[in-house]
Chains A and B, each alone.
Chain A
Amino acid sequence: MAFVSASNLRKSYDGEPAVVDLDLDIFAGEIFGLLGPNGAGKTTTIKMLATVLAPDSGDAEIGGYSIVSAPREVRRIIGLCPQDIALYEDMSARENLLFFGRMAGLNAREARTRAVECLATVNLDARADERVHRFSGGMKRRVNLAIALVNQPRLLFLDEPTVGVDPQSRARIYDTIRALAGEGTTVLYTTHYIEEAENLCNRVAIIDGGQIIAQDTPRGLHTLLPDTERPTLEDVFLHLTGRTLRDV
């Protein structure tokens, strides 16, 4: 049984379709990658599933709760790590964790405990009391991730969490994600880095024009190019989405 099951999700902005009749199943403990060119509908999909945006039509169930009729219940079991660094840079890493922990409904003691645990998870416990504006881009990304973990979500949305991050921080983020999945957390991961999706994700969906045009394991996707010797996921991606620039 899928932990996330979306059917016919649709969303338009000013009449321009961003996501069109999207169907998706993600299983518990799975790291599911959503790959697509700019403007393909990745972020809109995540926003709808994370109850940030209401779909124009269609629905999705997360852990048995509908994002349309039971968004409050959905919010209790999800964590969102947005594409941007969504935190307060004038506060320390610990203060951010405490604040967002309280916002997620934890009491003060729970928030303190979770702040310590989450900062240790992203290896920032030694810098916990420094203001975030002093951190490098990679460290900020790790705090961004730690905040998404503060309420121990069963489903974690990671929207391009490694943009602008150095290889060391990126490796640390991968380790964290793998460990979380190993503990049973389901992860929906969007990225531009195809190699990243190939190495990290159990399954990958390629989205373009607001629709999923292929989904399988990375190895399974390779079979879409039977005539190519040792195809990479990038070859498959370019084969399916074309080489035309999307943001000109």
Chain B
Amino acid sequence: MRALIIATREIRAYFSDVADLLFGLALPVLLTLLILAVFGTPDFYPTAHLVDMDSGEGALAFRERLGKRTELQELDPAEANRLLERSAVYHVLWIPAGFSDSLEAGEDARLRILQRGSGSVEGQVVTAIAHAVLSELAIEADARRRVHRFADALGVDDNTVDIDARTDAFLARESSAPLVGVATETVGAQPDMALRTVAGVLGMFLLFTVTLGGVATVEERRSGVVQRLKTMGVGASDFFVGKLVSGAFKGILQAGIMLALLSLLDVPPELPRLLGALAFAVLALLAFGSFGLLLGGLARTREQALWAAILFTMISAVSGGTFFEVGANPTTAAIARASPVYYAIEGLGGILEGGGGLAIVGPLTVLFAITLILGPIALVCLRRAWERGS
């Protein structure tokens, strides 16, 4: 009963503190909106910066095809140089004068790519696309030349048969249904960076909520509240459970609001997935809450607890993959496995993306183990503080 009264007091204090509410509820919502604005579009669509000094047929064909696969931004030469100079853009595709004539004649038709450093990931993607488009154009130009040579050899009259039109029709058919190509098959759920990042932000704020709860515990120890509670017959276990329950409640509220926001914005997850994610968040909160209370029992001063909470949360959030994909690089992937936020992201992200089942067994097991190990240790530390009366 006392534990529940302690939890109720904490929750009421939380709702009556505007700063707490802003930090705990408004900030994660704002971050979520920001993330959705940045990652809202499902596919990556790179921007290609282009200067066309040629404007011939070949250059036009190149621009048309590139425009279908990228967001094409045409620049004049001076502007392109200025933007590159200021690092406002990292790459520019430069079609030199005479490019179309050279392409048609089968001569050296070379596209220039100006880039700062490695040209950024986006620039590298655009370069790869430009290479592919140029290859297509070169092959097609070669095909036309060969057809003309064969037609000449066979004595076909260019005036009775439109050789170019027929060649283009064959090329178009080959382009729409190529004999040689790549067949892409999607295996499992579609990884969604937006959902992953929302899961990461949620994990980060859940961790913040409970670690900052640990700071409040240190304040209560230092101010004499713990002494007072002890003389009133309140046990360390009552206090521990009360804190854990209030931390879990605040975290679930945060999780609920962010997940509800996702559904309002028509981001994929449906109600069962949202409820699954909420249930998973409870387990994550118990694991994180144990750490928060460990901090509350161990730290000697408010500042110590505050810095430990901030450092642990930020390092866990960053290394756990809140702000970038950690799985692609073996080193970051290995480091991420030491972060509790990583398991929150894996679990929450997996559920939101529709993975569920085996996909969340790993994170579930790890978070459960953290709770089982850290929970009793935190309780022992708190009991010691209780015995010391501070």
Contact between chains at A75 and B233 (CB < 8 Å): yes
23 residue pairs bridging A and B, Cβ less than 8 Å apart: A50-B227, A51-B230, A51-B231, A52-B227, A52-B389, A53-B388, A53-B389, A54-B387, A75-B232, A75-B233, A84-B224, A86-B225, A87-B223, A87-B225, A90-B13, A91-B12, A91-B13, A95-B12, A99-B5, A100-B232, A102-B5, A103-B5, A147-B228
Size category of the A interface is 20 to 34
Contact between chains at B227 and A47 (CB < 8 Å): yes
Of residues 1 to 55 in B, which have CB atoms within 8 Å of A's CB atoms? 2, 5-6, 9, 12-13, 16-17
Main secondary structure of the interface of B (DSSP, over half): helix
Size category of the B interface is 20 to 34
Contact between chains at B233 and A72 (CB < 8 Å): yes
Which residue from chain B places its CB closest to the CB of A103 in the assembled complex?
Answer: B232
Contact between chains at A102 and B228 (CB < 8 Å): no
Interface flags for A14-54 (1: CB within 8 Å of B; 0: not) read 00000000000000000000000000000000010011111
Of residues 64 to 114 in B, which have CB atoms within 8 Å of A's CB atoms? none
Interface flags for A70-103 (1: CB within 8 Å of B; 0: not) read 0010011011101111111011000100011011
Contact between chains at A105 and B232 (CB < 8 Å): yes
Contact of B233 among A52, A87, A99, A105 (CB under 8 A): A105
Contact of A76 among B5, B9, B228, B233 (CB under 8 A): B233
Q: What is the minimal beta-carbon distance from A190 to any residue of chain B, in angstroms?
A: 14
Q: Is A191 an interface residue (CB 8 A)?
A: no
Contact between chains at A86 and B224 (CB < 8 Å): yes
Of residues 100 to 125 in A, which have CB atoms within 8 Å of B's CB atoms? 100, 102-105
Which residue from chain A places its CB closest to the CB of B227 in the assembled complex?
Answer: A52
Q: Is B141 an interface residue (CB 8 A)?
A: no
Contact between chains at B228 and A91 (CB < 8 Å): no
Chain B residues, Cβ within 8 Å of A54? 387
Complex CA gap A76/B2 in Å reads: 15
Complex CA gap A102/B234 in Å reads: 10
Q: Is A66 an interface residue (CB 8 A)?
A: no
Interface flags for B100-137 (1: CB within 8 Å of A; 0: not) read 00000000000000000000000000000000000000
Which residue from chain A places its CB closest to the CB of B387 in the assembled complex?
Answer: A54
Complex CA gap A67/B18 in Å reads: 43
- Most chain A beta-carbon neighbours within 10 Å: one of B227, B232, B387, B388: B232
Of residues 199 to 258 in B, which have CB atoms within 8 Å of A's CB atoms? 222-225, 227-234
Complex CA gap A95/B5 in Å reads: 12
Contact between chains at A104 and B233 (CB < 8 Å): yes
Q: What is the minimal beta-carbon distance from A47 to any residue of chain B, in angstroms?
A: 6
Contact between chains at B388 and A103 (CB < 8 Å): no
Contact of A85 among B223, B229, B389 (CB under 8 A): B223
Complex CA gap A32/B110 in Å reads: 100
Q: What is the minimal beta-carbon distance from B11 to any residue of chain A, in angstroms?
A: 12
Q: What is the minimal beta-carbon distance from B22 to any residue of chain A, in angstroms?
A: 15
Contact of B2 among A72, A82, A102, A148 (CB under 8 A): A102
Chain B residues, Cβ within 8 Å of A80? 227-228, 231
Q: What is the minimal beta-carbon distance from B26 to any residue of chain A, in angstroms?
A: 19
Complex CA gap A104/B227 in Å reads: 13
Complex CA gap A91/B232 in Å reads: 19
Q: Is A162 an interface residue (CB 8 A)?
A: no
Q: Is A186 an interface residue (CB 8 A)?
A: no
Q: Is A211 an interface residue (CB 8 A)?
A: no
Chain B residues, Cβ within 8 Å of A83? 224
- Most chain A beta-carbon neighbours within 10 Å: one of B12, B16, B17, B228: B228
Chain A residues, Cβ within 8 Å of B224? 82-86
Chain A residues, Cβ within 8 Å of B233? 72, 75-76, 103-105
Complex CA gap A100/B389 in Å reads: 17
Complex CA gap A51/B120 in Å reads: 66
Which residue from chain A places its CB closest to the CB of B238 in the assembled complex?
Answer: A103
Chain A residues, Cβ within 8 Å of B231? 50-52, 75, 78-80
- Most chain B beta-carbon neighbours within 10 Å: one of A72, A90, A95: A90
Contact of B9 among A72, A91, A105, A147 (CB under 8 A): A91
Chain A residues, Cβ within 8 Å of B6? 103
Given contacts A75-B233, A102-B2, A104-B233, contact A88 B228 (CB under 8 A): no
Complex CA gap A100/B326 in Å reads: 48
Chain A residues, Cβ within 8 Å of B227? 47, 50, 52, 80, 82, 86
Chain B residues, Cβ within 8 Å of A53? 387-389
Q: Is A151 an interface residue (CB 8 A)?
A: yes
Complex CA gap A90/B232 in Å reads: 21
Given contacts A91-B9, A99-B9, A104-B233, contact A82 B16 (CB under 8 A): no
5 smallest CB-CB distances across A and B, nearest first, come from: A86-B224, A82-B224, A52-B389, A84-B224, A104-B232
Additional 5 contacts, C-beta under 8 A, given A50-B231, A54-B387, A85-B224:
A72-B233, A80-B231, A88-B13, A91-B13, A103-B232
